[in-house]
Amino acid sequence: MEINALRMKKKLEDYDFSKACPIRNVLDRFGDKWSILVILLLGEHKGPMRFNELAQTIGDISQKMLTVTLRTLEADGMVHRKHYPEIPPRVEYELTELGKGLLPHINGLTQWALKNYDAITKSRKKFIARKQFA
């Protein structure tokens, strides 16, 4: 476990922050399965949310992936993590100003997604149908 922590650390240190193009570098963060959804939920919710509250709202996310996602968002400065050293422990998450600034853009995307969902679904089905002949 000591070894693994060191490996993780090394991996982060090796990361070349200067090399990648800014757009790709930032947008790649939304490539993962959950980041956008978490930001969206934290954005809708009044006040901070607890770990399990997030987990239950999302429903089908594993504990591991929620932890990973929140850590990454925290590292990027999008989410603030407040840890209360009580027993049992309590941890609350909320968007930072940076995170809130992203919200309208994500909402724009999701609105578009909702509006065009049918068109996309139909297009996918048609595409498959055409492939049946090939």
Site of interaction with its own copies (CB under 8 A): 9, 12-13, 17, 22-28, 30-33, 36-37, 74-78, 98, 101-102, 104-106, 108-110, 112-114, 116-117, 119-125, 127-128, 131-132
> CA-CA distances (angstroms) from residue 125 to 96, 113, 117, 120?
40, 17, 12, 9
| Least distance (Å) between residue 46 CB and its own copies | 21
The whole-angstrom separation of Cα 92 and Cα 49 is: 5
SS3 content of the chain, % helix, strand, coil (to 5): 65, 10, 25
User: Would you tell me which residues interact with DNA (CB under 7 A)?
Assistant: 1, 3-5, 8, 31-33, 50-53, 60-65, 67-68, 70-71, 81, 83, 88-91
